Amino acid sequence: MWLGAANGMKPSVELVHAMDALDRPTVRRVTRLTRRGDVASDPSEARLAVALAHQTRQQAPTASAYAVLAVLIAVFLGVLIVQAARGEIDFLGIITGACGLWFITITIRGRFHLRNAVTAERLNLEALERTSEPYSPSWSPAQIQIPPAAFAVIAVVMFFLYGLPFGALQLIGLDPTHSASTAIAGGAFFGMFMTIFQLTLGRGLTERRSERKAEPNIRSS
């Protein structure tokens, strides 16, 4: 939850309370159950399943995001196809083709998880309505306090996740102007830039998007 909060994703009050009521193994089990679109057998687990499904719907990409993905996929696969037609696939073609296939995979996976989340939300809401206790969740964003040590660890992890691939691509890109020291410096600069961007401007944009969608109709899909 700290990683999501550092990136600007605010969990709902309902999700925080539902997770606090269960132990970690149960939370992991309910998370898997929600991803499969199944119904929980216990009211407290059903409450968590609804909250997790609700968060999945909240974080679903918009139509404009899917449009951007479609353009990226077309460009990346287009480079590979053009090179294959010419019979001269190079390193750039392999990388762009792999990126295009990766974008297709995560898009299909995301749509599959979203469909299952909608199903899990509906089934577990029906289960909660059959219980004697009233169910009135609060979908307002919760305020998550990230410990300084955890925030520092998140920043370091982001730095390496952004910087290492960038430096590696420069190093193996078969460009004679890119020495090992140049690749390391480039990776360090890119990692630092993207980490600062993600934890400042990117975090703010995500927070505003979360706040705009804080009170959706839970029954809508």
Question: Residue with structure tokens 């390496």?
Answer: 160
Distance, first Cα to last Cα, the chain: 24
Provide the pLDDT for residue 220: 43
Domain range summary for the chain, segments of one domain joined by +: 146-221
Provide the pLDDT for residue 208: 67
Q: What are the average pLDDT values for consecutive 10-residue runs of the chain, which has 221 residues?
A: 63 84 90 91 90 86 85 90 86 83 90 92 90 77 77 88 81 63 84 86 68 50 39
Residue pair 192/28 in contact by the 8 Å Cβ criterion: no
Residue pair 126/201 in contact by the 8 Å Cβ criterion: no
What would the two tokens of residue 21 be? 């009521």
CB neighbourhood size of 126 (10 A):
11
Provide the pLDDT for residue 65: 82
Who contacts 61 (Cβ-Cβ below 8 Å, separation ≥6)?
Answer: 69, 110
- How many CA atoms does the CB half-sphere of 33 hold within 13 Å? 23
Q: What span, in angstroms and rounded, lies between the C-alpha atoms of 196 and 47? A: 36
Is the pTM here over 0.75, yes or no?
no
Residue pair 129/46 in contact by the 8 Å Cβ criterion: no
Provide the pLDDT for residue 8: 60
Amino acid at 143: Q
Q: What span, in angstroms and rounded, lies between the C-alpha atoms of 141 and 206? A: 12
Provide the pLDDT for residue 92: 76
Provide the pLDDT for residue 150: 83
Alpha carbon 131 to chain centroid, angstroms: 33
